[in-house]
Structure 1
């Protein structure tokens, strides 16, 4: 089997000799419950027409009331496409109480570009950890299931017996 087709992984077309510098812009921060846990989502974008590769992301969320770090994020070898909007998600294990917080992120790429962001945000209503409610079968569910099985079996026997009696009557 031979393949006559090929593809280009990356293609750079230039209008002039000026290098395009990568840029990352921090936007809004919001809180949301995802997968039953409170998360802080920081929307960001890379508005330039350049691919940012081998990006290292280090960030944390600090509660300003007690100066305690409540969430952190570390990521390596991330890639960001040109003109791309993306979310940095800080996943929490505990409830996120109402109050003021500080989000900080440092990003570094393999060319040595460094981006530092910090932004204050406020949580108005607490974001709670939602516990998964498991469906547990009570004793009366089991009783109901057993009764349905017994009734179904008895009806089956009754109709089977009635059918045999009708056959026997036809023969006589």
Structure 2
């Protein structure tokens, strides 16, 4: 029985896949309390600053790795990205923001030192200077401080990339507690096909200086008879102040015949604001063929992932072996007489 047990364990160990763990980011960052900080959340900068005021934001970087790390610091205005979430990682493209230039975070924030090297196990403090213009405003300015670790030479050789592992600290600045009622606009509602992907598209604009949280977007496409041919609901999103973005609801492998359709869109947020739009669309024969070709492309069967198949087969084998072992132990116990 012992021989069977040890043989069984050895068999299991041979079949268990080896798991390799990456080093990870090797650093963390944390904001230091600022004189203008308001509210009880200290995980980001929530500042209430008067016009023409200045301050310095301090961020501590901790090197948790075993080698020196060089870290780059950037500031960006907050935008709404293609996933309908807040983003500070990239410089906004033209048209992504309708915020006046003198109130954009990337204009009012400057970095004295854009790069810092931190020894293993040590920490350093970076600074970002904020200078508000002599302008009064209601609502919020949204931005972010992004810290990115440069890749080590060995990592560059393996991946060909220059930087990796980034953290961002949001910065929200306001001058007063005046509530701003959000206003959204939707333009250019359409069906578009690009790179074998058909989507219901709409250009969304948040024309007010306020953040929308808990955003849910519902899209629906109905034919001339009122039959719903496509519907989608996206939840738990956010929209940045005075930001513009294109929302895409993928039709995936949905086919569309030529004819007239009604495109309905509804957006709500966690403060119970609601916006609805409706547009009649005409799909001609040429567009229908393009949409259906894209749908056919998306229904092509994907190749079998033999790694997943192998892991499932392995799990089944281990389960069966455990069952066999349990059965043998049970029979052995029944045959063993009780000691008096």
Give the alignment's TM-score, normalised by structure 2. Answer: 0.35
RMSD: 2.4
- What does 1:69-148 align with in structure 2 at a 5 Å threshold? 69-92=228-251, 93-124=253-284, 125-126=287-288, 127-130=291-294, 131-132=296-297
Q: 1:42 maps to which residue?
A: 202
CA-CA distance at 1:78 after TM superposition:
0.6
1:5 counterpart = 2:129 = no
CA-CA distance at 1:11 after TM superposition:
2.2
Q: Contact 1:38–1:96 (CA<8 Å) still a contact in 2?
A: no
Question: Secondary structure, in 3 states, of the residue corresponding to 1:129?
Answer: helix
1:31 counterpart = 2:191 = yes
CA-CA distance at 1:17 after TM superposition:
5.4
Distance 1:123 1:85 in 2: 27
CA-CA distance at 1:85 after TM superposition:
1.7
Flag the structure with more relative contact order, 1 or 2, with Cα contacts below 8 A and sequence separation at least 6. 1
Aligned length: 131
Query: After TM superposition, which residue ranges in structure 1, 4 or more long, deviate above 4 angstroms?
Result: none
Residue by residue over 1:21-61, the C-alpha shift from the partner in whole angstroms, topping out at 9 and shown as x without a partner, is 11110101222223424322122211111111111122211
CA-CA distance at 1:4 after TM superposition:
1.4
Show structure 2 runs of 5+ residues with no match: 1-121, 128-144, 146-168, 301-340
Distance 1:58 1:39 in 2: 13
CA-CA distance at 1:104 after TM superposition:
1.5
Q: Contact 1:31–1:39 (CA<8 Å) still a contact in 2?
A: yes
Give the alignment's TM-score, normalised by structure 1. Answer: 0.65
Question: Secondary structure, in 3 states, of the residue corresponding to 1:120?
Answer: strand
Q: Contact 1:37–1:128 (CA<8 Å) still a contact in 2?
A: no
Of 106-115 and 32-41, more deviation after overlay is shown by: 32-41
